[in-house]
Amino acid sequence: MSAVTERALLLAHPETPGEAVWSIAVEAQLTDGVHLACHYALHGDMARVRIPGPGAGRRSDGLWKHTCFEAFVAAQDARGYYEFNFSPAFDWAAYRFEDYRTGMSAATLVQAPGLQVRRTARQLDLTATVHLAGLASLRDARALQVALAAVIEEDDGRLSYWALQHGPGRPDFHDPDSFGFELRHT
């Protein structure tokens, strides 16, 4: 079993810094070429972070409107990409885009992402494992370009946007320049 791992801290968008979150550490790992594990460790005043109520653990749209962790994944040198949303309420979403913000459709997964969540007074950990077996363009790529991000809702309803890097203007997790991790199949 071989694995490739990338680690970093997410940066708050300068226009939406928020106050309750101190840092978000992320890690992406590709194992056996068919499992993408994304780990998010949010450190902050969890009493001030709004967590969605218990979900059904199934596909759900609009997760990004509340506290949600996201992964954007593209096959190297290929058009299009996938967006995966993971709620700490255990709901998830998966979309396929033909190009930058165009041609969106629901992505068909052979298995729902596996989600694990742990919360303390000062930390929220979420690990999501996406099974790439049914996504041939990702499974068969030589390398994957990955962007990890988070939307955090505070107790007053304000949203902050966190990413590996931000371009100018409004927060845009779809920006191809934000795909800062490269995971190679070994």
Q: Is 182 exposed, middle or buried (0-12, 13-18, 19+ CB in 10 A)?
A: middle
Task: Identify the pLDDT of residue 54.
Answer: 82
Task: Determine contact, residues 171/13, Cβ cutoff 8 Å.
Answer: yes
Q: Which pLDDT tens digit goes with each residue over 105-115?
A: 999 999 999 99
Residue 126: inside a domain: yes
Please tell me the pTM assigned to this model. Answer: 0.95
Which residues, at least 6 apart from 83, have a Cβ–Cβ distance to it below 8 Å? 70, 71, 72, 93, 94, 95, 97, 173, 174
Of the candidates 99, 41, 89, which has an alpha carbon nearest to the alpha carbon of residue 65? Answer: 89
CATH number at residue 23: 2.60.40.1190
CA distance 115 to 132: 15
State how beta strands 159-163 and 143-153 pair. Answer: antiparallel
Q: Which residue has the tokens 């099974």?
A: 131
Residue 165: inside a domain: no
What does the pLDDT average to over 151-165?
97
Q: Evaluate if residue 1 carries a pLDDT over 50.
A: no
Give me the domain span that covers residue 117.
3-158
Q: Looking at the 3D structure of the chain, how many domains does it have?
A: 1
Q: Which pLDDT tens digit goes with each residue over 69-126?
A: 999 999 988 889 999 999 999 999 999 999 999 999 999 999 999 999 999 999 999 9
Q: Which residue has the tokens 């949303």?
A: 85
Q: Which pLDDT tens digit goes with each residue over 22-50?
A: 999 999 999 887 899 999 999 999 999 99
